[in-house]
Amino acid sequence: MMKRSKLLMMVAVLVSAFTFSSCLDDSNSTSYPSYERIVTVGTGGLLLHSDNGEKLIPMNTVTGLDKVERAIVAFNLYPEELNGTTLESGKTYEVTLDANYCYNVPTKKVINLSNNAEAQDSLINSQDPIVNVEGMYVKNGYLTAYISYSFSNNSQYYLDVAYDPETDVDLSTNTLTLTLYYDNKADYGQYSMRFPFSFRLPTELYNRFAEASDEINVVLRYSKEIISDESEATCKMSKTDFFTSIY
């Protein structure tokens, strides 16, 4: 079986593991920060590239932020009197992060099934239905979606996204089709969770779509709990979004 990163199971464990610890004392924080973004984390956590297009420079240290690829961060502008400003794509802002509301976004690579018998053998058992996929988009090299799913606290579970380059790349319609594979490792789910997950797109797909128009249709197929057949989520992306602009 191929190696797959283990996702945490119990709600309490999930929340505590995804929440970062701050090097500052945030125990007196009583209000939610002014801003929230999903970001790609640069080297050392010194620069955060927002999916909205802003660049954020943290003025405080949040332990563990430099160890993840993607995160939800909540923050105020630095200095505080700038709060209330409408943030603009392409601009850089100094920010103070609130570690009480910063979370790791689970991130994995999209799997290329071509000549990958190990991956195909592993994913064939990952066909459990999920509740729903919402808010899917592609930015900065990552497909991100809010996935609702049921799970048991007695077993580990897996989420993966894969594609077959021979059948899932349709240049005639500029369409990339991906499939979500879920294995809850249990007969039934005791709990439900809705959380954003990110999947790093293979950059080799850029060459496949090199002659296509800039706008690419992305389809994510998945098995849904409330109906017996497949469902799908769709969005559009730019060819430049195959690449990440932060390191």
- Residues 38, 196 contacting (CB under 8 angstroms): yes
Neighbours of 224 (CB within 10 A): 15
- pLDDT at residue 126 in the model: 74
Rounded CA gap, 153 and 133, in Å? 22
CA distances (Å), origin 29, targets 26, 56, 100, 176, 219: 5, 21, 8, 44, 41
Which helix (DSSP H) or strand (DSSP E) does residue 138 occupy? strand 132-139
* Average pLDDT, consecutive stretches of 10 residues, N- to C-terminus, the chain (247 residues): 33 41 46 96 92 96 93 96 95 96 95 83 80 94 94 77 95 96 73 90 90 91 77 94 76
Rounded CA gap, 150 and 15, in Å? 16
Residues whose CB falls within 8 Å of the CB of residue 91, separated by 6 or more in sequence, listed in order: 54, 55
Rounded CA gap, 223 and 227, in Å? 8
- pLDDT at residue 203 in the model: 87
Convert 49-58 to b/e letters by CB count within 10 Å (16 or more is b): bbbeebbbeb
Rounded CA gap, 215 and 173, in Å? 10
- pLDDT at residue 30 in the model: 62
Residues whose CB falls within 8 Å of the CB of residue 40, separated by 6 or more in sequence, listed in order: 48, 49, 51, 69, 70, 140, 141, 142, 244, 246
Q: Which amino acid is at 226?
A: I
- pLDDT at residue 8 in the model: 30
Q: pLDDT tens-digit profile of 129-153?
A: 888 999 999 999 999 999 998 877 7
